[in-house]
Structure 1
Amino acid sequence: MHSRSGRAQYSDRDPLTGLFNRRGLEGAVGDLFESARDDSSSLAFIVVDIDKFKTVNDLHGHAEGDHVIRRTANRLSTHLGERGVIARTGGEEYLAVISGDTVSTTLLIEGINAALSDCSDAIPTTVSVGAVMMTAESKAWSGGTSAILAATNVADSMMYQAKAAGGNTIRSAQI
């Protein structure tokens, strides 16, 4: 019995980082959405992408690339703590959804680049961050869980704006 439940749980997790994968993320974000709405908390959707990651793999190999992916995942988890859910949604891309008051959540978002990048790392990297804040007063809540997809899409678009601006930066919006 344990092995079956273990496999089921594992199918919700990314094997490299231990973070949620897309499948695990969906249920966890739905629960967080309901909880934040009930508590009148803000909800932030944050897309983080490692800048110039292909270069890391090309110059240092895939084993070192995997190390960078794990390091980034660990630092993101440490920085955001227990404020929400974090998933690895692509090769070098992560999605975090966190709840809380708008001020502290904004400060957490603003600190992501510094928390994830350390120039003394053997392979230093930077990240591009796109974030969307859904405040407690937002009309988006009335859209129910479809607001999750909308907010995620806007956060993704914001991340691409951060990349287009040269990376190692944050672009954010409110919905």
Structure 2
Amino acid sequence: VGLGGVGSHAAHMLARCGVGRLRLIDFDQVTLSSLNRHATATLADVGRPKSLALQEALEERVPTCETHSVNRMFTAAAADDLLCGWRCGDESDERSTAPDLVLDCIDDLNTKAELLASCRDKGLRVLSSMGAGGKADPSRVRIGELMDCIKDPIASKLRWKLRKLDSHPDP
């Protein structure tokens, strides 16, 4: 979820590494100012949905990866539709199981918190990208639990938002 500078590269590499199916979710369009960060977008994609531009690029470059493009913003209300199995509502399809993994590549903290809370409620595993802006040493990247990220300001704010969501559940 989120197909900008982090998500487009993650999806592209997953497809190239042999992942068989990817659901590509983003509400935004490719912009001239985002071309330098996007993994596959070209000048011809400016103004087009990021999810569709990435889907078409992956279909061309990695035809063995089945993709499903969703041009929609993630919200808690949309979680059932966006996080459901590959063929939502088609029980006859053996692939209608829940996703194996959700990649959180969202840059908006409120939306990121809603996604993580929704995944937690559905029992879905999530790999969530935090802040990398201004970082120069890739050897210092660490993978761990959100609660263990103590020096990342985005992780700190995200924990606060998740606690706030837990203390004020929707009716």
| TM-score of the aligned structures, taking structure 1 as reference length | 0.26
Greater relative contact order structure (CA < 8 Å, 6+ sep): 1
Query: Which one has a larger percent helix, Structure 1 or Structure 2?
Result: 1
